């Protein structure tokens, strides 16, 4: 062997290089974050390091594996969670609001063989999922009112979108984990101004309704209080007429000189004789006779 290498060093080097190439081609190293579909003449035959639910990344499957050199190729498929962004588009809600919606979905490839057969590559898979995501978001948001997106009901809407999208994505060997709306805006210009005007009008109507209800309740309470006061006055007048006269005189003095405590008394000058009947409670002439 040494003699052969010495006599034909170039040929020996070529043979060594080919042998090394065969070894590298025969025993590929599978990264922990990748799944490898082994394709033999265009047909998938087996999978290395396939994702399994509940099994952490880095478990059995990664590392050194084997294949038939030149006859089998490896198609690399990411094992981690990936995302696809929906193209920003307009959606019309049930209350006829035009919305600018921007959403995204997070997914994982759980069946690499099916994904390879249906989509081919990860980029082609993303290109096929993007319009499907847009269609499902548009259909779901078209069934609700704009205000629902501002309430906790929004999470239920996204769950419905995820369920619908996952039903279709399963055909590509994909499991959809989550769907989220990044932004929901009204278009700039007249639609946005019109929406603000409608919101302002609705709040003003609500405020007027609340004030009307408050005024109605106040009138009811005031009427009940006046009725109760009248009954009390009548009862007191029947039991002690002198006390009733004294009480009514005190109320008159309060309204005249102090006011009701809510509005300031206007500056008024009153000139009365000390013997005037109106001032009898001040002069002590209002006692029992």
Q: Which of 42, 60, 78 is the last residue of a domain?
A: 78
Q: Are strands 82-85 and 72-78 parallel, antiparallel or unpaired?
A: unpaired
How many domains does one find in the chain?
2
Query: Which residue matches tokens 């994702």?
Result: 51
Same domain, 49 and 61: yes
Alpha-carbon span 168 to 107, nearest angstrom: 12
At 208, give phi and psi (nearest 5°).
-65, -40
Per-residue DSSP letter, 257: I
* Cβ 233 vs Cβ 251: under 8 Å: no
Same domain, 152 and 102: yes
Domain that holds residue 117: 82-191
Query: Is residue 143, in this structure, part of any structural domain at all?
Result: yes
Alpha-carbon span 176 to 255, nearest angstrom: 75
Task: Name the pLDDT band for 254 (thresholds 50, 70, 90).
Answer: confident
Predicted confidence at residue 93, as pLDDT, reads 75
C-alpha distance from residue 176 to each of 103, 107, 119, 141, 279 (Å): 14, 4, 16, 19, 89
Query: Is residue 266, in this structure, part of any structural domain at all?
Result: no
Query: Is residue 272, in this structure, part of any structural domain at all?
Result: no
Same domain, 16 and 88: no
Q: Are strands 82-85 and 29-30 parallel, antiparallel or unpaired?
A: unpaired
Task: Name the pLDDT band for 16 (thresholds 50, 70, 90).
Answer: low
Same domain, 180 and 110: yes
Q: Which of 174, 191, 208 is the last residue of a domain?
A: 191
Same domain, 182 and 104: yes
Same domain, 151 and 138: yes
**What average pLDDT does this structure show over 204-210?**
90
CATH number at residue 117: 3.30.479.30
Query: Is residue 61, in this structure, part of any structural domain at all?
Result: yes
Q: Which of 60-69, 91-100, 201-210, 277-286 has the lowest mean pLDDT?
A: 277-286
Query: Is residue 115, in this structure, part of any structural domain at all?
Result: yes
User: Which residues fall within 8 angstroms of residue 202, CB to CB, at 6 or more apart?
Assistant: none
Alpha-carbon span 33 to 51, nearest angstrom: 10
Start-to-end C-alpha separation, the chain: 150
Same domain, 154 and 119: yes
Burial of 91 (C-beta count, 10 Å sphere; 0-12/13-18/19+): buried
Closest CA to 178 of 189, 165, 192, 197: 165
C-alpha distance from residue 39 to each of 71, 111, 146 (Å): 8, 15, 49
* Cβ 158 vs Cβ 105: under 8 Å: no
Same domain, 48 and 135: no
Same domain, 25 and 117: no
Inform me whether the pLDDT recorded for 138 exceeds 70.
yes
Same domain, 56 and 97: no
Inform me whether the pLDDT recorded for 289 exceeds 50.
no
Query: What's the length of the chain?
Result: 289
Query: Is residue 271, in this structure, part of any structural domain at all?
Result: no
Q: Which of 43, 78, 113 is the last residue of a domain?
A: 78
Same domain, 25 and 7: yes
Alpha-carbon span 67 to 284, nearest angstrom: 121
Predicted confidence at residue 5, as pLDDT, reads 57
Alpha-carbon span 66 to 77, nearest angstrom: 17
Same domain, 103 and 36: no
Task: Name the pLDDT band for 45 (thresholds 50, 70, 90).
Answer: very high
* Cβ 4 vs Cβ 11: under 8 Å: no
Query: Is residue 221, in this structure, part of any structural domain at all?
Result: no
Highest mean pLDDT among 131-145, 203-217, 231-245, 272-286: 203-217
Alpha-carbon span 162 to 132, nearest angstrom: 11
Query: Is residue 250, in this structure, part of any structural domain at all?
Result: no
Partners of 39 in the β-ladder: 44, 73
């Amino acid at each position: 062997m040494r003699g052969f290498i010495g006599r034909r060093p170039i040929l020996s080097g070529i043979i060594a290089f080919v042998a090394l190439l065969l070894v590298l081609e025969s025993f590929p190293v599978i990264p922990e974050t990748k799944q490898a579909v082994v394709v033999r003449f265009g047909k998938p035959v087996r999978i290395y390091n396939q994702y399994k639910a509940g099994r952490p990344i880095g478990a059995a499957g990664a590392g050194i594996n084997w294949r038939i050199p030149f006859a089998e190729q490896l198609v690399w498929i990411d094992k981690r969670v990936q995302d696809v962004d929906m193209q920003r588009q307009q959606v019309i809600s049930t209350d006829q609001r035009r919305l600018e919606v921007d959403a995204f979905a997070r997914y994982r490839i759980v069946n690499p063989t099916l994904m390879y057969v249906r989509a081919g590559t990860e980029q082609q898979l993303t290109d096929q999922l993007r319009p499907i995501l847009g269609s499902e978001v548009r259909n779901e948001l078209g069934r609700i009112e704009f205000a629902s997106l501002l309430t906790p009901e929004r999470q239920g809407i996204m769950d419905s979108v995820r369920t619908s999208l996952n039903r279709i994505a399963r055909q590509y060997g994909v499991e959809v984990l989550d769907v989220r709306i990044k932004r929901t805006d009204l278009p700039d210009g007249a639609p946005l101004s019109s929406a603000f005007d409608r919101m302002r009008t609705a709040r003003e109507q609500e405020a007027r309704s609340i004030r009307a209800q408050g005024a109605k309740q106040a009138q009811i309470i005031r009427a009940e209080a006046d009725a109760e006061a009248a009954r009390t006055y009548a009862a007191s007048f029947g039991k002690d007429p002198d006390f009733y006269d004294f009480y009514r005189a005190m109320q008159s003095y309060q309204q005249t000189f102090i006011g009701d405590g809510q509005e300031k008394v206007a500056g008024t000058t009153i000139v009365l004789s000390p013997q005037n009947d109106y001032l009898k409670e001040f002069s002590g002439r209002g006692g029992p006779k």
